[in-house]
Amino acid sequence: MHEKASQRIFIRSLPEHILKPVLLRGWISRLRVLGKTTFVILKDCSGELQCVAASEALRELHLKTEDVVEVHGLTRRDERAKSGIEVDVLEIRILNRCGHNLPFTAATDLESIGQEVQLEYRPLALRNNSIGDIFRVQAALLRFFREFLTAHHFTEIVTSKIVSSGTEGGTNLFQLKYFDRVAYLAQSPQFYKEQTVAGFERVFETGHVYRAEPHATSRHLTEYYSLDVEFGFIDGPEDVIQLERELLDFIFARLNESYASVLLAHRAAALPRMLDVPCWEFAECLEMLKEHFQRTDLVDDLDPEAERQLCRLAQEKTGAAAVFVLGFPLAARPFYTAPRGSSGAASSFDLLFEGIEVTTGGQRLHRRDELEEAMRARGIEPANFESHLRIFDVGMPPHGGFAIGLERLTARILNLANVRQAVLYPRDRYRLTP
């Protein structure tokens, strides 16, 4: 009679328990019956393992893939096993049975399963590494984002997502009843991160933002996760661009190091270095689009096709399909944007990465009188923003920042066709469940 372990361990820790009794818990990922021997592939949050049992001993359990089980067994080394370790089963106890009519299993090739079905059964899809790895990479991206900024004197802030008015003066707001008043879901933490620059100098925030835009495309969401950065004492938007170069270079290098096999399953090459990503003026971009693609239809912004075309040009010139576009027309940018010279350009930029805009940023106005003048020029009454404007009286340094859409960046890193593939539970024009 073998002694049983009393404390659960994770599959990844098994090398520390060779020839010892172990207690494992997880899901049955696959089952293989070869005559008198059954191989049970067990999966937990740390990995997968092959467990070996006598078929006769398991007969009355009627095990199925996705059943939740507890395994008591003995570990041993086996070079034929994928992990180099197997567990001989002493006992299997069923903790919960799965249903009989699941649309797919963790071992299914999900290429044949529609995205809507995957979303309806999201936890089951996450057990499949092709889906689970998307969100492991995304979690690492968030971790490395925080790691870099914290090491560069930034303070992480958490701000409200219920606001009394729109940050950018637009109408694409979700309205909600707030007791006896009307409130809105925040479309950006812009005001809050500017205000906290006056307190901390360097801040960042990660959190959901909301855009009531009636899009139904592969790149738009009504709720997305924004990585926001703002910092003071800058000399111009070039300082903001340089910080983002260094941030993304750090994140990409860490992802290449820690998730090489996952990345190469999704893309032809490792993530590029970002320190040398060029910065092209908006007017210069229009000329290049005209010269190389005969585009004469763009005036104050770039459309998705122009973003892809500019990334192709950047790839040809620098080896990386990424470019910062600086100096958009001021009239097309939010009122708090600082001008760039006197020609009507803005100290505002987008980062285009592998065919899509993943970042918007720039330098902000930091003097109250200039902000009020910019508001009046847009038909906005400054008195309606007094709670924000008064902060500019306490000593606001020249500042700027940027926001990265986490889902869009994840989708580009992993070459996903639709941004919804990079969201656990996407919210768009039509989807409100699960």
pLDDT band (50, 70, 90) for residue 167: low
pLDDT band (50, 70, 90) for residue 78: confident
SS3 of the chain: helix, strand, coil, percent, to 5: 35, 30, 35
Q: Angle 129-151/406-413 helices, nearest 10 degrees? A: 120
pLDDT of residue 170: 57
Do the strands 356-363 and 348-353 form a parallel or antiparallel pair, or are they unpaired?
antiparallel
pLDDT of residue 201: 98
Q: Which domains does the chain have, with CATH numbers?
A: 11-96 (2.40.50.140), 126-422 (3.30.930.10)
pLDDT digits (tens, 9 = 90+) for 381-412: 999 899 999 999 999 999 999 999 999 999 99
Residue 161 clears pLDDT 90, i.e. is over it = yes
pTM summary value: 0.93
pLDDT of residue 165: 77
Mean pLDDT score across all residues of the chain:
93
Percent of the chain at pLDDT > 70 equals 98
Residue 220 clears pLDDT 90, i.e. is over it = no
What radius of gyration, in Å, describes the C-alpha atoms of the chain? 26
Residue 83 clears pLDDT 90, i.e. is over it = no
> 16 near 75, Cβ under 8 Å?
no
Task: State the Cα–Cα distance between residues 365 and 398, nearest whole angstrom.
Answer: 7
pLDDT digits (tens, 9 = 90+) for 13-26: 999 999 899 999 99
Percent of the chain at pLDDT > 90 equals 86
pLDDT band (50, 70, 90) for residue 171: low
pLDDT of residue 203: 98
Task: State the Cα–Cα distance between residues 27 and 98, nearest whole angstrom.
Answer: 10
pLDDT band (50, 70, 90) for residue 54: very high
Do the strands 322-326 and 348-353 form a parallel or antiparallel pair, or are they unpaired?
antiparallel
Residue 158 clears pLDDT 90, i.e. is over it = yes
